[in-house]
Structure 1
Amino acid sequence: MRKIIAIVITTATCLISTVYAQEDADLTKWPQGKSPTEVGNAIAWRFIKTPHPNFGRPTPPKVITYPETCTWYGALTFAGESKNEELITALADRFEPLFSTEAKMIPIPDHVDYAVFGSVPLELYRLTNEQRYYDLGVNIADKQWGPPEGPRVKPASQGYYDMGLTWQTRLWIDDMYMITALQAQAYRATKDEKYINRAAKEMVFYLDELQKANGLFYHAPDVPFFWGRGNGWMAAGMAELLRSLPKNNRDYKRIMAGYKLMMASLLKYQSTEGTWRQLIDDEASWPETSSTGMFTYAMITGVKNGWLDKEIYGKAVRKAWLGLITYLNEHNDIQEVCEGTNKKNDRQYYLDRKRITGDMHGQAPLLWCAAALLRD
């Protein structure tokens, strides 16, 4: 009898463990107030009510900055995935002055941080089918691969252009979201593979030049630190590219290998609360929310598309999402966002960076995550 009871208890324990394991990896059921729909709506409407931001500076920006662009793009993708027509209309209304009274705020696309703006009108085109959004976005995407032009052109620009890369190449890891988001969006809008092929070729160049053996990336070749948000741009950029890159593309396998290597490394450094640190591999470093959001987005996209093990990475994603949203305050502003950071070969420099609340570097990836969790 004791043996039978022991067997029953053991079996029941295994079944319970299995159920909990499945729940831990479940990306469809969430506690009240913590679902991607609820959080995404809160962040998106917060964005609509926020004037053009210029964090860290006392005056408004002269043009749309890339953190605003990335948040706007995230809000649009969330609105589309949640089928929220009211939100789509509000986001389009926010854009309307750029065709008239605020036209000067459209950035000249002579730098990756400005060219990424094109991803916003291209997503608006995909949601509304209005030609004026298409024309604006495609023109920006084409200029990124056109002949070098503008005062920001560097001497190396022509050399990169001759290699078939964008003349805006600079081998900063941030670029691999900025360039990818624009060119992938142009592909989605036009169905012309030249755009996705450009982004893929560029990504392989960056991977070959910058990815380390552990799958992560130094902030710069002369700055040997694995800065969180810099790596976040790379992770999110690969995910954004791979979700639209045809599997028969010649660069698909190389990019997927780089992506999986990075995801496996990130898994090792996730904290018990689900976050990642300002310096990824430095346990003395503080939990940083913009990088956490970007890594979470990259992993959600991998799980949803079957690139990553659903059980292992599903648990990591669930823990990350639930941990990340605890940093939202009563105004739906994310806290503990690293301020804009130049490079410096000094560990303490990164540990001492200011921690900002509501910075769109942090708001944007929350919206990417919410959209990705709703995406089929």
Structure 2
Amino acid sequence: MKTMMAGLLTLLVFNTGMATAQKKSAAADLTHFPKGSTPKEIGKRVAERFVASPHPNFGKPTSPKKITYPEVCTWYGALTFAQESGDKALTDKLAQRFEPFFTTEAALVPAADHVDHTVFGAVPLELYIQTKDKRYLDMGKAIADKQWGTPEGPHVKPQSQGYADRGLTWQTRMWIDDMFMITAVQSQAYRATGDKAYIDRAAKEMVVYLDSLQQPNGLFYHAPDVPYFWGRGDGWMAAGMSELLRSLSKDNPDRERIMKGYKIMMASLLKYQAPDGMWRQLIDDPEAWPETSATGMFTFAMITGVKNGWLDAATYGPAARKAWLALVKYIDDNADVREVCEGTNKKNDRQYYLDRGRITGDMHGQAPVLWCATALLRK
């Protein structure tokens, strides 16, 4: 009888352990999702919504004079999603949207004179990677080269030449947004050409920003004189480091420093993720509202980290999964993302951030959903 009881107890412990392990595994699963929440379904809906949308102008009813960076970020996300999902028809639609820039809409192509303008180059470079049409390479490469070229244009500052003399881009501003805008186009230039000079200089730039701006807890103030951890601002840094690290060679001398900055940030974000899976308008403020653009960017960074083995899957996998499932609930029937913080300047005032307008369908929110869908599909 004692032997039988011991055997039953052992079996019970074994089964309990197996059930616990299976539950943990399911919580960390970044491959299987409920119907309606899969990356292919969500990515397709949001990408097709982008294809059907006119060029946005930061919420204004008028057409933009130049293509804006939120559109660029969404376009890039739609293209990478098309590639990872094997949707050639979608790639063709996205290429057709670009075609007028060679003719009737050439005036809409931004000059490569500011980080928010230069990021445009990421789109033609991705189109070249997918289609091998040299027109895209010529355009994108010229834009990436000008970022490290001679300072010129209306945005040149007294310090611009000094940055260039240090081997940095003359477009350096020490704004946290920069580390996605600069990184995206330079990483894309490397992916398109194989020339490591592009991504190596982006890595050098990233280290300067990390050493100058990252706080001890791994997060970033919106500005040195504005001690608030604004969600989307930090999101640009998280996404930028992820984009850089996934293509930066292991022998790059700056890789270890960037990886350290990335991991410290991810650990802090894990601490501040809300129980529902979202992150907030002010990351460390429990009274701030759940904000989708920041959540999407942080989710992309964590998915990328888990998929590449930089982050412990058992720890960060559940956080990334919970965040994705929370984020997709904010997508309405038109494939527009809700609760996107409006464009935001800096201000040393907590209430200013809490009172920012919440937009539906803004490209700042559409883009990171597509990045996440892409990251989930990557092997």
CA distance in 2, matches of 1:164, 1:203: 12
Opposite residue 80 of structure 2, the aligned amino acid is T
| Match among 273, 282, 287 for residue 270 of structure 1 | 273
Q: Is the aligned partner of 1:34 residue 2:37?
A: yes
Give aligned-pair identity as a percent.
67
- What is aligned with 2:157? 154
Write the distance in 2 (CA, Å) between the matches of 1:19 and 1:169: 48
Structure 2: 5+ residue stretches without partners: none
Aligned to 1:276, the other structure's residue is in SS state coil
Residue of structure 2 equivalent to 1:201: 204
Establish whether residue 67 from structure 1 lines up as the match of residue 107 from structure 2: no
Q: Give the 3-state SS of the residue equivalent to 2:99 in structure 1.
A: helix
**Map of 1:43 onto structure 2:** 46
Indicate the SS of the match to 2:374: helix
Question: In structure 2, what is the Cα distance between the partners aligned to 1:188 and 1:127?
Answer: 11
The answer on whether the counterparts of 2:115 and 2:171 sit within 8 Å (CA) in structure 1 is yes
1:41-95: CA deviations, max 9, x gaps? 0000000000001233231111100000000000000001111100000000000
Take 2:318 and 2:40, find their aligned partners in 1: how far apart are those partners? 19
CA distance in 1, matches of 2:52, 2:334: 11
Q: List per-residue Cα deviations over 1:212-247 (Å, max 9, x = no partner).
A: 000000000000000000000000000000000001
Counterpart-to-counterpart distance in 1, 2:61 and 2:378: 38
Which amino acid letter does the alignment assign opposite residue 102 of structure 2?
Answer: F
Could you list the structure 1 runs, at least 4 aligned residues long, displaced by more than 6 angstroms after superposition.
none
CA distance in 1 between counterparts of 2:42 and 2:59 reads: 26
Task: Mark the runs of 5 or more structure 1 residues left unpaired by the alignment.
Answer: none
Contact 2:59 2:362 in 1 (8 A): no
Q: Distance in 1 between matches of 2:21 and 2:118?
A: 48
Matches within 5 A, 1:84-103: 84-103=87-106
Residues 1:330 and 2:322 are matched in the alignment? no
2:273 is the alignment partner of 1:245: no
2:124/2:139 contact within 8 Å kept: yes
Aligned with residue 352 of structure 1, among 325, 350, 355 = 355
The DSSP-based 3-state class of the residue aligned with 1:56 is coil
Could you say which residue in structure 1 is the equivalent of 2:121? 118
Q: Within 5 A, what are the aligned runs for 1:101-112?
A: 101-112=104-115
The size of the alignment, in residue pairs, is 376
CA distance in 2: counterparts of 1:6 and 1:357, whole angstroms: 55
What TM-score do the two structures reach when normalised by structure 2? 0.98
Instruction: In structure 2, give the amino acid aligned to 1:357.
Output: T
SS of match in other structure, 1:23: helix
Secondary structure in 2 matching 1:287:
coil
Is the aligned partner of 1:9 residue 2:9?
A: no
- Is the CA contact 2:121–2:185 (under 8 Å) kept in the aligned structure 1? yes
Superposed CA RMSD: 0.9
Equivalent AA in structure 2 for residue 185 of structure 1: Q
Of 211-220 and 50-59, more deviation after overlay is shown by 50-59
